[in-house]
Amino acid sequence: MIRTEDISQGRLDGLVTHAEKPRGGVVILPTITGVDAPMRERARILAEAGYSSMVWNPYPGETPPTEIKAAQARAGKLNDGALDVMSDCVSHLLDTLRLPRVAVLGFCLGGRYAVLLAAKDRRLAACVPYYPSIRVPMQPNQTLDAIALAAGIQCPVHLVHGTGDQVFLHPVFLKLRDVLEARKAATVAQVHPDAVHSFMRPDLQSVPANAAATRLSWPQVMGFLEMSLAQA
């Protein structure tokens, strides 16, 4: 039976979804709307596949923003010091839940943080950035260069990109891909023509390119996690 619990312990805050017989764990770094229904659904799907997860809550003690403009304004107040809290999420899965291996999966805002976290926390077994919100130049609230730091990621990376992304522009994707492919660890890059930023959002599925990208991307990510988290 899949079980969920909200955790708020010191600076550790988020939703933990327990697989019945966990084979590994995933830290989920969400979009600008935080611990919302789509993130809960991803956690449920992962749990059904045998992976317990923790969705990091970027807005502890607050009601998550539901409208995009409000979410953008709230996300603009975050800073890269939040990476320490994300490492606490990794620790919770590895040390408290005693899961054998842990990956990071991030979407949009969380996709950029997934790249930074994988560069910082060498305990991670895999990194999946979905349409990471990496801009050139960086936003005023950002201090860490995700593209430069990606060179130090030691685990396999599976990068997902839509060519219609209006945030993670295609030339920026190419720069990140080139940095990742110069590493010694495996790099997988999915490219979905005309799919836009956050193409997995339910309200964007009426656009054929987004629906196709959603349908095709997730099974490949699940296969990547399966192999990356498998016991050696």
Which alpha helices (DSSP H) does the chain contain, by range? 37-48, 68-75, 83-91, 109-120, 146-149, 170-181, 208-229
- The single residue listed with the structure tokens 């590493």 is 183
- Distance, in Å, from the CA atom of 101 to the CA atom of 77, rounded to the nearest integer, reads 32
Which alpha helices (DSSP H) does 164-207 contain, by range? 170-181
Average pLDDT, the chain: 96
pLDDT at 215: 98
For 166-185, the pLDDT digits (tens) are 999 999 999 999 999 999 99
The residues with which 101 forms a beta bridge, in sequence order, are none
pLDDT at 65: 79
Number of domains the chain is built from: 1
Buried b (16+ CB within 10 A) or exposed e, 6-43: eeeeeebbbbbbbbeebbbbbbbbbbbbbbbebbbebb
Taking 80 as the threshold, does the pLDDT of residue 157 lie above it?
yes
pLDDT at 61: 87
Share of the chain above pLDDT 70, in %: 99
Residues in Cβ contact with 91 at an 8 Å cutoff, skipping those fewer than 6 apart: none
Taking 60 as the threshold, does the pLDDT of residue 232 lie above it?
no
CATH number for the domain that contains residue 157: 3.40.50.1820
pLDDT at 67: 84
- Distance, in Å, from the CA atom of 178 to the CA atom of 10, rounded to the nearest integer, reads 39
- Distance, in Å, from the CA atom of 214 to the CA atom of 182, rounded to the nearest integer, reads 28
Average pLDDT over residues 113-119: 98
Share of the chain above pLDDT 90, in %: 90
- Distance, in Å, from the CA atom of 72 to the CA atom of 231, rounded to the nearest integer, reads 39
pLDDT at 231: 67
The whole domain housing 184 covers: 3-229
pLDDT at 121: 98
Q: Which two tokens stand for residue 171?
A: 């030339």
Higher pLDDT among residues 213 and 63, named by residue: 213
Helix (H, G, I), strand (E, B) or coil at 213: helix
For 58-110, the pLDDT digits (tens) are 999 888 777 888 888 888 889 999 999 999 999 999 999 999 999 999 999 99
